[in-house]
Homo-oligomer: A and B are copies of this chain.
């Protein structure tokens, strides 16, 4: 018995595939949907017996460093293997080219949630005049590249823009930096996350 089990024979076994070469007709061989799930070599060898020697069993894939490097060379994309994305150079965007998308609720949120900051800390009335001024400052900073990426998820590429605000009223003569959260949308559009997310900290942009 021991001798049997120390034999040099192996059986190829794919536990996720019941299909074997016997299941195909002799004329066409392995064909049909199954080949989108499993490669022909694996189906051909599945549950077959071979002597465990070179040229007597299907050759294993070669995973030497060179092979791995060669193998992945043409698959290495920008963000992942087989990624089609490219980075294309574009001219520095002009403020007039940027379209700000601000859902209605964000304005209400700013005037409500950040009323204290706008009024007491910056010296502005939370109204449309301030909003227009703020939007211009956002455009200016963004076009100067004063932002950094917070994260990327299903809602898009989230950035934090460093916005310079010149104090008004009692705060005239002072300069403040606040953070404004946006999603980068296609072709120069920015969709607002939160108009003022708080003070700009020490991040260098």
Contacts and interface: CB of A to CB of B under 8 A. Distances in A.
A85 B13 contact: yes
A92 B178 CA distance: 76
Interface in A9-49: 9-17, 20-22, 24-26, 28-31, 39-42, 44-49
Interface residues of A, number: 86
A113 interface: no
Which of A80, A81, A87 has most B Cβ within 10 Å? A87
Interface string A145-171: 101110011111100000000000000
A188 B50 CA distance: 9
Interface of A: 4-5, 7-17, 20-22, 24-26, 28-31, 39-42, 44-53, 55-58, 60-61, 63, 65, 68-69, 71-72, 76-81, 83-93, 103, 145, 147-149, 152-157, 183-189, 191, 205
